[in-house]
Amino acid sequence: MATSYKVAIDAGHGSNTAGKRTPPLPKDIDVNKDGKIDIKKGEQYREHYASVGVAYHLNRELQRCGFTTMRTGWDDDNAYNDPDTAIADRQKTIANAKCDYCISIHFNAYGDGKSFNSAEGFGVYIHDKYPGQSKKLAETVLKHLAGGSKQKNRGVKTEALGMCNCSSMGVKAAIICELAFMTNEYEAVNLMANEDYWKECAREICKGLCEFTGVKYVEETPEKKTIYRVQVGAFANKSNAEKLVAELKKKGYDAIIVKAQQ
Ligand SMILES: [Zn+2]
């Protein structure tokens, strides 16, 4: 069932934005667990790559639940070729599209960015002067984020940031989700550079928006697997079927009778 809500999914920064990356990582990392190393030891992983990862999964989640979505700061699942769109342009795009809500995805940082430190956790920013209904949305999303990977919950913070300004974007609520610290070694390695965590956050943010808007959350349907059955006989007469099953069982086969209409 389609809802009438339109959601802007914003991915922070651009592929080549200066700063906005982890300090050099301490080991090789396979982000999507496909057996291939995506980040080599010593490389710095960029905030935008992880943000697009979350945004991509959030887009799928929201669409499955019936929301209409649009993207700002990213255009597809390729996080490597996005320019850093100016905040004012992102705001204008969202206002022109008459979005109801804006969710901006980021990862946090603390310190000079050259080495790791102990600042940690997730939090949500809302605007100090133009928050609309963002506080309630932020609290609902945080509740779901807190139910996932064990992390410090930094709560709702207010600041005059462009991507949570409900007035300039013409939205009912706008939140900036800071999902982990890229300057915290544990969070960078295990959460930010981990597609399972991207999916988890996307699911939790979507559940938060669903609860906030009263839209029913639709679970992902597991992929259907093909199975192959072996048939050794088909009978119109049930007792003939039972005879064959008994014979097969005697030979050690786990045979059963399946009733079917011809
Ligand atoms: Zn950011």
- Provide the CATH number for the domain around residue 49: 3.40.630.40
Same domain, 245 and 194: no
CA of 47 to the centre of ligand 1 (A): 7
DSSP string, 138-206: HHHHHHHHHTSS---EEEEEE---GGG-HHHHT-SEEEEEEEEETTSHHHIIIIIT-HHHHHHHHHHHH
CA of 6 to the centre of ligand 1 (A): 23
Question: What does the pLDDT read at residue 219?
Answer: 94
Phi, psi of 206 (to 5 degrees): -60, -45
Quick check: is 113 in a domain? yes
CA of 4 to the centre of ligand 1 (A): 29
Same domain, 21 and 134: yes
CA of 51 to the centre of ligand 1 (A): 9
Quick check: is 220 in a domain? no
Same domain, 114 and 242: no
Same domain, 122 and 236: no
Closest CA to 122 of 201, 10, 212: 201
Quick check: is 218 in a domain? no
CA of 12 to the centre of ligand 1 (A): 5
Find the domain containing 236 and state its range: 226-262
Quick check: is 132 in a domain? yes
Question: What does the pLDDT read at residue 228?
Answer: 87
Same domain, 198 and 243: no
For the chain, how many structural domains are there in total? 2
Same domain, 128 and 31: yes
CA of 19 to the centre of ligand 1 (A): 10
Question: What does the pLDDT read at residue 80?
Answer: 95
Same domain, 143 and 28: yes
Same domain, 149 and 179: yes
Question: What does the pLDDT read at residue 225?
Answer: 81
Q: For residues 168 and 260, what is the distance between their CA atoms, to the nearest angstrom?
A: 63
CA of 68 to the centre of ligand 1 (A): 24
CA of 86 to the centre of ligand 1 (A): 13
59 three-class SS: helix
Same domain, 261 and 192: no
Quick check: is 167 in a domain? yes
Question: What does the pLDDT read at residue 190?
Answer: 97
Same domain, 98 and 71: yes
Show pLDDT as tens, one digit a residue, over the chain (262 residues): 677 899 999 999 999 999 999 999 999 999 999 999 999 999 999 999 999 999 999 999 999 999 999 999 999 999 999 999 999 999 999 999 999 999 999 999 999 999 999 999 999 999 999 999 999 999 999 999 999 989 999 999 999 999 999 999 999 999 999 999 999 999 999 999 999 999 999 999 999 999 999 999 999 988 878 888 888 889 999 999 999 999 999 999 989 998 888 7
120: left (phi over 0), alpha (psi -120 to 50) or beta: beta
Question: What does the pLDDT read at residue 1?
Answer: 60
CA of 178 to the centre of ligand 1 (A): 7
Q: For residues 245 and 88, what is the distance between their CA atoms, to the nearest angstrom?
A: 73
How many other C-beta atoms can be found within 10 angstroms of the C-beta atom of residue 4?
Answer: 10
Quick check: is 141 in a domain? yes
Domain boundary residue, one of 173, 191, 213:
213
153 three-class SS: strand
Quick check: is 91 in a domain? yes
Which value, to the nearest 10 degrees, does the dihedral of the CA atoms of residues 157, 199, 109, 95 take?
A: -60
Any idea what DSSP says for residue 176? E
Quick check: is 221 in a domain? no
Q: For residues 123 and 169, what is the distance between their CA atoms, to the nearest angstrom?
A: 21
CA of 48 to the centre of ligand 1 (A): 8
Same domain, 35 and 124: yes
CA of 20 to the centre of ligand 1 (A): 7
Q: For residues 185 and 131, what is the distance between their CA atoms, to the nearest angstrom?
A: 32
Same domain, 107 and 133: yes
Closest CA to 58 of 214, 220, 215: 220
CA angle in degrees (0–180, nearest 5) for 163-76-209: 45
